[in-house]
A and B are shown apart, each in its own frame.
Chain A
Amino acid sequence: MAKKMHDTPMLDQLESGPWPSFVTGLKRLAQENDMMVDLLGQLETSYETKKGYWKGGTVGVFGYGGGVIPRFTELKDANEKPVFPDAAEFHTLRIQPPAGMHYSTDLLRKMCDVWQKHGSGLIAFHGQSGDIMFQGVSTANVQPAFDEFNEMGFDLGGAGPALRTSMSCVGAARCEMSCYDESRALQTVINSNIDDMHRPALPYKFKFKFAGCPNDCVNSIQRSDMAVIGTWRDNIRTDEKLAREWFAANGMEGLVNNVVTRCPSKALAVKKAGEARTSDGFSAVALDDKTALEIDNHNCVRCMHCLNVMPGALLPGKDKGVTILVGGKSVLKIGATMGTVVIPFMKLESDEDFDKLNELSRNMLDFFAENALDHERTGEMIDRIGLSNFLEGMGLEVDANMILQPRANPYVRMDDWDEEVEKATERKASGG
């Protein structure tokens, strides 16, 4: 039997309205849980004073250096006693979800049982890095809660200057745009480098994200230090039956306004049937007996727009792989940065391909560990040292796909221009 509820007139106002209310949920938990009674008291105080009252600290599980987010209350009375003692410790366990965030109801219920027993009963699916956040546990209960999750096959996520929990999109599990096995890639990279997650020793955080196609449903370019994004090299695949159906439903107006003119690289054209080019990178699909859609595949930038508008009629090609971008991060300290291309294309199908991805990830982490300054993200490090130096350090070859335009200023030493031209000639000769 839980103790008496505090008055929460501000939070009560968040119980009305059509969207599901987290306050109603917190109150349900408070019926069985003193921690939640006092959590509501502290949260109500924050709503009144517009101040936060948590501080960090050091709480963990045996054998690991990170993955628990410690929270101790700073809301104390004149005698330095917590105003809401039962929520004085309110830590979060970050647990890595299955890649693609698939759950059986059986699994979810088991997770609820563990958290009802050891914690507050409050769970967030998921945090912005992708962790399941089991919110609200006392210091004493952190270890037993973790032990039960761990025995169920689940492991702590990342926190602090460490490899972080990763995310992949639904991908191959349900999406025709998927260009590689996102789940396998995530498990390969994360689980091979798991020591860097559990024992934080990097200059700062490092995030990998895995998106099956350039629609980038996991926001990998913006939100990760290394983004692995599915793409393809050959022609867009077409399905004439679906293309005809789409055209019958949407007409010339839809085709021109919503497909052809929205192509960013003007790689699409409407042609009379039989007049569309079908060689040298061009392909075509009939839309009706008189009209065809012509695709200039060499000039397509794989933006996904036309595939999104005409699902199934247009599909990614068969020669699939990934593009790798590096250096995405949020605001601190130099301002938000997007990841930029460091590998325009690599295959990701065979065991050897996955080994290569794993090796690249390890090199990326090692280079970051050795060269970044304290609290510097990969994007900031690259800004500081220049992309060319980063590529050289990583043993990656320069490629014109890495830039939007060549430099527009002459402030550079180019003593060894001739040697670099020679390297470019060699790259070209070796098919790179």
Chain B
Amino acid sequence: MAEMRQPIESGAPDPMQYMHPVMRKNYGHWVYHSHPRPGVLYHRAEGGDEVWTVKAGTQRQMDHYTIRKLCDIADQFGEGHVRFTARSNIEFMVASEAKVNPLIEALTKNGFPVGGTANSVSMIAHTQGWLHCDIPGTDASGVVKALMDELYDEFVKCEMPNRVKLSTSCCEINCGGQADIAIVIQHTKPPKINHDLVANVCERPSVVARCPVAAIRPALVNGKPSLEVDERKCVCCGACFPPCPPMQINDPEHSKIAIWVGGKNSNARTRPTFHKLVAAGLPNNAPRWPETAAVVKNILNTYKNDAQPWERMADWIDRIGWPRFFEKTGLPFTKYHIDNWRGARATLNASAHIRF
């Protein structure tokens, strides 16, 4: 047998070798930015050097032809250097203002929407879904494609009160993260257990330990060591499914979609906030999830019409109060919106502050 090649443990590469030369030259010396138009940022360094950034949306899961096309555009109309944002948008940097419009034209002509800057609805942070995940309740790329088709205008224009970040997650682990509007699978039935497989596939004590409500216990089923779930306790979170695939939590009918709002990662104005549940029970309706899209658009439109400049979703709701949020969006308020998990008391209104 041939000798195996030892890996070079180089870790995270130095970005300087790939960075646009104007950015490299002025590293740590920027003093000003502006937003000349949707999809374009302008930055100036203290010595007067300038760089324009044109931001475009992508499908994130890109075939190499798409990437090569983006490279062709960057070479022909840009300056051969790009970067990606945390939300999978691609940014083309140029040191000359004259290159901005031809670059935008080339991107648009090739089907890449230019936008996603400032007070727009940016690309949806998303996960893997049916394409590659081992525990998905739904798809990710498909949900995002369907929704971004609907929100295209809000990506290429900047007409929102402040920036809007969306995320989708294919299970309650919520890999998509906190967002102004988050679309997350919510299971509504306990796992269906294949007792023939549990003993061989699952490390039972660690599965028991994963359950947040201690609803799982070891049991002998049909003479085989397995696990059983106290279905009255079970909160259908699916935490047992990854360590024990025979505890199938995904259900074509009963795995629903829930919508959460008001998550914010920035420290601007208020401290960072978690998103909160506002709607649930929406069908997992591939390939275009129209019911989910309708709720998201309703919330976005209400926010767009009612929030003041610079108010993020959370700031807006903070000002108008949750009762009015439900009133204005027409979304039903139910007993399930009242938290009963640990720390829930801090979410209750311990005051006489009521808006009429």
| Chain A residues proximal to chain B, CB less than 8 Å | 10-11, 13-14, 16-23, 25-26, 28-29, 39, 43, 46-47, 49-56, 61-64, 69, 71, 90, 92, 96-109, 111-112, 115-116, 121-126, 128, 130, 135, 146-147, 150-151, 153-156, 165-167, 169-170, 172-176, 178, 181, 183, 186-187, 190-191, 194-195, 197-198, 214-219, 221-223, 239, 242, 257-258, 262, 264, 301-305, 308-309, 311-312, 315, 330-336, 338, 374-375
Contact = CB atoms under 8 A, between A and B. Distances in A.
Contacts of B137: 52
A105 B80 contact: yes
B348 interface: no
A10 B269 contact: no
Contact of B18 (A92, A104, A174): A104
Contact of A25 (B32, B61, B133, B149): B61
B63 A29 contact: yes
Interface stretch (B174-182, B220-228, B297-305, B330-338): B174-182
A336 to B, nearest CB: 6
- Nearest 3 CB-CB pairs, A to B? A17-B149, A312-B32, A191-B11
B269 A305 contact: yes
B64 A128 contact: no
Nearest to B23: A173
Nearest to B156: A18
Contact of A257 (B17, B20, B112, B309): B309
B5 A147 contact: yes
Contacts of B210: 332-333, 375
Nearest to A71: B132
B114 to A, nearest CB: 12
A92 B13 CA distance: 20
B176 A128 contact: yes
B65 A25 contact: yes
Contacts of A195: 9
B32 A104 contact: no
B268 interface: yes
Contacts of A309: 310
A405 B324 CA distance: 29
A381 B38 CA distance: 44
Query: Looking at A124, A155, A338, which has the most chain B CB atoms within 10 Å of its CB?
Result: A124
B8 interface: yes
B62 A10 contact: no
A102 B173 contact: no
A264 B66 CA distance: 44
A415 B131 CA distance: 58
A249 B133 CA distance: 50
B234 interface: no
Query: Looking at B33, B85, B272, which has the most chain A CB atoms within 10 Å of its CB?
Result: B272
A172 to B, nearest CB: 4
A23 B145 contact: yes
B329 interface: no
A266 B178 CA distance: 27
Contact of B88 (A39, A96, A97, A125): A125
B63 A20 contact: no
A55 B134 contact: yes
B63 A25 contact: yes
B292 interface: no
Given A257-B308, A303-B268, A99 B12 contact: yes
A310 to B, nearest CB: 11
16 contacts: A11-B142, A19-B145, A25-B59, A25-B62, A53-B130, A71-B134, A96-B12, A100-B15, A104-B80, A106-B80, A124-B60, A166-B12, A178-B28, A221-B272, A222-B265, A330-B173
Contact of A26 (B4, B13, B63, B74): B63
B285 to A, nearest CB: 9
Nearest to B125: A128
Contact of B132 (A49, A92, A100): A92
Interface string B22-34: 0110011011111
A308 B130 CA distance: 39
B84 interface: yes
Nearest to B53: A174
Contacts of A21: 59, 145
A19 B342 contact: no
B18 A135 contact: no
A18 B133 CA distance: 26
Contacts of A312: 31-33, 44
A392 B138 CA distance: 44
Given A28-B63, A124-B60, A336-B178, A315 B31 contact: yes
B160 to A, nearest CB: 15
A43 B139 CA distance: 9
Contacts of A217: 85-86, 266
A92 B342 CA distance: 37
Contacts of B32: 176, 239, 242, 311-312
B8 A150 contact: yes
A115 B64 contact: yes
Contacts of A25: 59, 61-63, 65-66
Contacts of B176: 128
Given A20-B58, A330-B174, A222 B134 contact: no
Contact of B270 (A17, A125, A146, A264): A264
B132 A18 contact: no
Contact of A311 (B14, B33, B178, B239): B33
A390 to B, nearest CB: 19
A109 B67 CA distance: 8
Query: Looking at B18, B53, B71, B267, which has the most chain A CB atoms within 10 Å of its CB?
Result: B267
B127 A128 contact: yes
Contact of A186 (B12, B71, B136): B12
A141 to B, nearest CB: 15
A336 B24 CA distance: 37
Contacts of A167: 86
Given A105-B71, A154-B10, 17 more contacts: A14-B288, A29-B65, A47-B286, A98-B14, A99-B13, A99-B15, A102-B81, A102-B82, A108-B71, A109-B68, A124-B88, A174-B93, A175-B33, A178-B28, A223-B265, A332-B212, A335-B342
A28 B67 CA distance: 12
Given A14-B287, A29-B63, A176 B33 contact: yes
Nearest to B248: A51
A303 B264 CA distance: 13
Contacts of B342: 334-335
